């Protein structure tokens, strides 16, 4: 079950964190993975790891916020693999702030990657999927798309947009064999979290790590591999009856 043999999967921002875990998991389960990365050092390192484990992967330079870059990346995927079966819109950036202290530049940066990037990559992938008979799009949203989070004004805005884009794509293409869902994680322990703690709470990293972990009622953060396992299911043929849905993976946050 949940094999992706002979599937072509594009994963944006897979050089680290959740995207990296998804790329590894998909490759381990038979997919040919294309990593679209702005940071090609990270992208190439991710590809090397997958290949050493016996998987099939390539890295392509892509800034998801730039139309020309996205177009070129998908042209290259099509040239090399001749189709796209799965798109994971994972690339994203974070921001801490309220509406008062979020600058216009910060707001535009969040929008350009987290919202426009999903739009551009989905648009490029849908064209190929329609040509070749269908496919699956999975977007990385957040519990911030379902509830209000303190000091996450711009980030929450962007993930709310991801949620509604998910539903729109699902409705528009449900009769054309394209499924679209999103996952909504609570806090996941990635290198970003460690960097945030170092920069924001120097000398108090362990204390604040405990605080961030205990925000989830289950008592810890999620792992990238746990999110990747959910992504694997939602992109597999076993989930062929699922579209237009948002899947929380939140350690109980929404239950309390």
pLDDT digits (tens, 9 = 90+) for 183-213: 999 999 999 899 989 998 999 999 999 999 9
pLDDT of residue 221: 98
Q: Which two tokens stand for residue 98?
A: 């309220």
Q: Where are the domains of the chain?
A: 8-186+223-248, 188-221
Rounded to whole angstroms, the Cα distance separating 18 from 30 reads: 19
pLDDT of residue 217: 98
SS3 state of residue 173:
helix
Do residues 142 and 185 lie in contact, with contact meaning Cβ atoms separated by under 8 Å?
yes
**Distances in whole angstroms, Cα of residue 41 to Cα of each of 20, 114, 192, 256:** 13, 21, 17, 41
Name the average pLDDT for the chain. Answer: 97
Rounded to whole angstroms, the Cα distance separating 163 from 173 reads: 16
Q: How many CB atoms lie within 10 A of CB 197?
A: 18
Is 0.85 topped by the overall pTM? Answer: yes
pLDDT of residue 168: 98
> Could you give the residue numbers annotated as active site?
155
Rounded mean pLDDT, 167-196? 96
Question: Residue 12 class from Cβ within 10 Å (0-12 exposed, 13-18 middle, 19+ buried)?
Answer: buried
Rounded to whole angstroms, the Cα distance separating 35 from 30 reads: 15
pLDDT of residue 164: 98
In sign, the C-alpha dihedral spanning 99, 102, 103, 108 is negative
> 8-186+223-248 — its CATH code?
3.40.50.720
């Amino acid at each position: 079950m949940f094999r992706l043999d002979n599937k072509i999967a594009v994963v944006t921002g897979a050089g680290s964190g959740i995207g990296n875990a998804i790329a590894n998991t998909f490759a381990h389960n038979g997919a040919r993975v294309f990593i679209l990365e702005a940071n090609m050092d990270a992208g190439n390192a991710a590809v090397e790891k997958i290949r050493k484990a016996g998987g099939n992967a390539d890295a392509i330079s892509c800034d998801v916020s730039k139309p020309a870059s996205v177009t070129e990346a998908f042209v290259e995927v099509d040239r090399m693999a001749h189709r796209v079966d799965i798109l994971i819109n994972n690339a994203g950036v974070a921001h801490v702030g309220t509406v008062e202290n979020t600058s216009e530049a910060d707001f535009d940066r969040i929008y350009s990657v987290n919202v426009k990037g999903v739009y551009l990559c989905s648009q490029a992938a849908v064209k190929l999927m329609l040509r070749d008979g269908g496919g699956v799009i999975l977007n990385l949203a957040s519990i911030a798309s379902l509830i209000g989070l303190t000091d996450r004004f711009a980030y929450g805005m962007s993930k709310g947009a991801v949620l509604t884009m998910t539903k729109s794509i699902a409705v528009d293409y449900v009769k054309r064999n394209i499924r679209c869902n999103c996952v909504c994680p609570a806090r996941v322990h990635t290198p970003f979290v460690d960097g945030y703690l170092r920069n924001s709470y120097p000398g108090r990293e362990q204390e604040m790590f405990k605080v961030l972990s205990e925000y989830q009622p289950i008592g810890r953060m999620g792992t990238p591999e746990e999110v990747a396992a959910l992504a694997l299911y939602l992109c597999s043929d076993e989930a062929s009856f699922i579209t237009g849905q948002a899947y929380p993976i939140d350690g109980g946050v929404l239950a309390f």
